[in-house]
Amino acid sequence: MKYELPQLSYSFDDLEPHIDGATMRIHYGKHHQTYVDKLNATIEGYTQFEGRNIDEILHDISSVPEKIKQQVVNFGGGHSNHSIFWTNLSPNGVGEPIGRSKKMIEETFKSFEEFQELFTKAASGFFGSGWTWLVFKDGELEIISRPNQDSPLLENLIPLLALDLWEHAYYLKYQNKRADYIEQWWKVINWEDVERRYNLAS
């Protein structure tokens, strides 16, 4: 079984004007596709990975042969992270959390506005390429940032919300203005997906 790009539930232009169609086409069709292709090439011949979800492999990274472990972290993480990122987005975002995840965010961070401020600060202050996440573990929520394509699954953390901070995610539209990209990203979050992930995790 070879890994494939996940199907999007919206078209490339549907996130306009917040995330432009040109960026989506390149980000999804070129960058994510490259991670998928390189992941498939990396694990070719390793029959122990046949039929296994990439998230399962990342969660059990210690079982990956040392010879290919870093490539699996890089390319598998790139595939997994982007797959979460796409489902976290929606042209019909409701603007704020819903359901049980909303209650947990408010309990953990005092309010959605406080959470938004802390998450934005973490993402804006992150140096270089990477991701900022809302993750769940042992009944608690946490905001973390990680470099490159390192997945929270490597640390036994369950990802709920992902923000891609690589320049390829925003540079065509926002150039060096990462803060503007982050501000607009809040307007297309699929909080129903965050709620679904939280319910599965808890």
Least confident interval from 5-14, 44-53, 54-63:
44-53
Contact at 8 Å (CB) between 83 and 9? no
Give the percent of the chain with pLDDT over 90.
Answer: 97
- Overall average pLDDT of the 52-60 stretch: 96
Tokens of 40: 């498939």
Q: Is the pLDDT of residue 1 over 80?
A: no
Q: Is the pLDDT of residue 50 over 90?
A: no
Q: Is the pLDDT of residue 51 over 90?
A: no
Q: What is the pLDDT of residues 109-134, one digit of tens each?
A: 999 999 999 999 999 999 999 999 99
- Overall average pLDDT of the 41-62 stretch: 94
Domains of the chain: 20-202 (3.55.40.20)
Q: What's residue 102's pLDDT?
A: 98
Q: Is the pLDDT of residue 98 over 80?
A: yes
> pLDDT tier at 179 (50, 70, 90 boundaries)?
very high
Stated length of the chain = 202
Tokens of 149: 């394509």
Q: Is the pLDDT of residue 21 over 80?
A: yes
Quickly list DSSP for 77-109: HHHHHHHHHHHTB-TT--SS--HHHHHHHHHHH
Q: Is the pLDDT of residue 93 over 90?
A: no
C-alpha span between 8 and 115 (Å, rounded): 27
Host H or E run for residue 161: strand 158-164
Q: What's residue 34's pLDDT?
A: 98
Q: What's residue 94's pLDDT?
A: 78
